[in-house]
Every structure is written in structure tokens, then in C-alpha cells.
């Protein structure tokens, strides 16, 4: 295996868009929302206003689909100047319920890679941001739960959150490798505390998760297009 695995005992995986598809369901939901709202505002305006509200609501609502539904409803109310037809609000709630009931679609190579790591006796951790009940549902449905020694659903993924996780599990940063699709949440904060990271971009990234990978020195950090590259 790649030398980034030297001295590593514990490998943590992000979940959404690293193990299974996620962000594209948000993009599809937004498209439905723009169509529903077309008599009240342009797509460009709705896109800007919805994103603004999602970010403003993060401290109060956190990440996840329920927060997203509430931000869509509020955007609909404000952009229609409180003239929205109530059935459109019902439709927005239905978009959210559909997202929450969506089957879990695993990404390529995930299961063979987890099996391989397990056979090599790495301690595997799931470290994900988001809504508790929705992440637990996806983990149950994914059939991947048995691979993981510990599951951590985090309110945020700053360096301080990773430090707390490592302390709790009694892991040194130098033994810790994080694998994920967000430079901002999975890579930078882990490298900053002395861990290692593998970045595997997903084709769709939420604007809020974008960060400039070029600014990072390629030390303790590897970029791949697919998980499978590691065992080929």
C-alpha cells in the first residue's frame, strides 16, 4: 500500500459522498424547488437566497435535510413576500420527505476497500457531519455498520472536533488517517492537528464545502479519483 499508511492504526471515513451518494440529491431537490417557485423568483435569485439562509441557519439548525427543508420554506415565504400558495409549502415538505426516504447508493469500491482494510486489522471509524437520525438510517441501510469500530456523528468538523475525537478514542494524530471528499472538512483540519488524509473528490460539492486544495502542500495528504486505486 501507499506509504501514507505507514504508522497508521486508525482510519476514519467521511460518509456522505465518500461512502455513499448525497450531494446530488440536494442538487436535484433544489432544481425541483426552483421549478415550484418559478412564478415568484428567478432560479438565480432563489439559489443565492437559499444558500444565504442555509449558512445563516447552520448555528441554529445544524447540517442535514430537516435544516434544508426549513431553509427552503423560509426562502419561499420571503421571496414571495408572504404570498406563497400553501400547496407549494406542502410540496417543499414532500421534496424533503422524499430525500429522507431515498435509498442509500454506495459509491464504487467502498465495500471491497473496507473489507481489505478490515483484513489488515486497521481500526475503522466513521466520522460524519449531519443529522443524527438521517445518518443512522443511511448507515443501517448501507449494510456497512459492521465494518466500523466507532461511529461519530459530529456537529462540525473543525480541528478542535477532531482533537476531541482522537482524545476520546485515545489515538495519536500520527496514527490517524482520514478519508473524505471535502478539503475543508476532512483534509485541512486533520492535517492541521498532525494527522494524515486522503482526498477523493465527488463530482458534486456543496459551495460551503469548497476550499482551495492547491494551497495545501502535498505533505501527509494524497488525492485520488477512486478508493480502489489504493489496493490496485
Q: Which residues form the interface with its own copies (CB under 8 A)?
A: 60-63, 66-67, 69-70, 73-74, 77, 80, 82-87, 89-90, 93, 96-97, 100-101, 131-134, 136, 150, 153, 155, 168
- Beta partners for 178? 12, 197
Residue 79 CB, nearest approach to its own copies (Å): 11
Residue 98 CB, nearest approach to its own copies (Å): 11
Q: SS3 string of 58-88? A: HHHHCCCHHHHHHHHHHHHHHHCCCCCCHHH
Question: Residue 114 and residue 112: Cα distance in Å, rounded?
Answer: 6
For its own copies, the closer CB: 57 or 201: 57
For its own copies, the closer CB: 20 or 68: 68
For its own copies, the closer CB: 131 or 209: 131
For its own copies, the closer CB: 66 or 118: 66
CB 186 within 8 A of CB 199: yes
Q: Sign of dihedral through CA atoms 155, 22, 72, 208?
A: positive
Residue 197 CB, nearest approach to its own copies (Å): 24
Question: Which are the contacts of 92, defined by CB distance < 8 A and separation ≥ 6?
Answer: 33, 36, 69, 72, 73, 76
Residue 101 CB, nearest approach to its own copies (Å): 7
- Beta partners for 28? none
Residue 203 CB, nearest approach to its own copies (Å): 27
For its own copies, the closer CB: 101 or 219: 101
Amino acid at each position: 500500500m501507499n506509504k501514507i499508511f505507514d504508522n497508521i492504526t486508525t482510519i476514519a471515513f467521511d460518509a456522505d459522498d465518500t461512502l455513499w451518494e448525497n450531494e446530488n440529491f440536494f442538487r436535484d431537490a433544489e432544481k425541483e424547488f426552483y421549478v415550484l417557485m418559478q412564478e415568484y423568483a428567478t432560479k438565480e435569485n432563489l439559489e443565492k437566497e437559499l444558500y444565504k439562509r442555509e449558512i445563516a441557519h447552520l448555528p441554529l439548525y445544524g447540517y442535514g435535510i430537516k435544516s434544508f427543508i426549513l431553509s427552503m420554506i423560509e426562502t419561499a415565504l420571503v421571496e414571495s413576500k408572504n404570498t406563497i400558495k400553501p400547496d407549494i409549502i406542502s410540496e417543499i415538505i414532500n421534496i424533503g420527505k422524499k430525500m429522507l426516504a431515498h435509498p442509500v447508493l454506495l459509491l464504487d469500491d467502498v465495500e471491497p476497500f473496507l473489507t481489505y482494510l478490515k483484513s489488515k486489522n486497521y481500526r475503522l471509524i466513521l466520522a460524519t457531519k449531519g443529522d443524527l437520525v438521517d445518518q443512522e438510517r443511511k448507515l443501517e441501510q448501507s449494510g456497512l455498520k459492521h465494518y466500523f469500530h466507532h461511529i461519530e456523528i459530529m456537529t462540525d468538523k473543525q480541528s478542535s472536533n477532531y482533537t476531541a475525537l482522537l482524545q476520546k478514542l485515545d489515538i495519536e494524530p500520527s496514527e490517524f488517517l482520514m478519508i473524505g471528499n471535502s478539503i475543508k472538512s476532512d483534509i485541512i483540519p486533520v492535517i492541521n492537528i498532525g494527522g494524515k488524509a486522503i482526498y477523493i473528490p465527488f463530482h458534486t460539492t456543496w459551495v460551503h464545502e469548497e476550499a482551495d486544495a492547491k494551497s495545501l502542500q502535498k505533505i501527509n495528504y494524497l488525492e485520488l479519483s477512486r478508493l480502489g486505486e489504493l489496493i490496485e
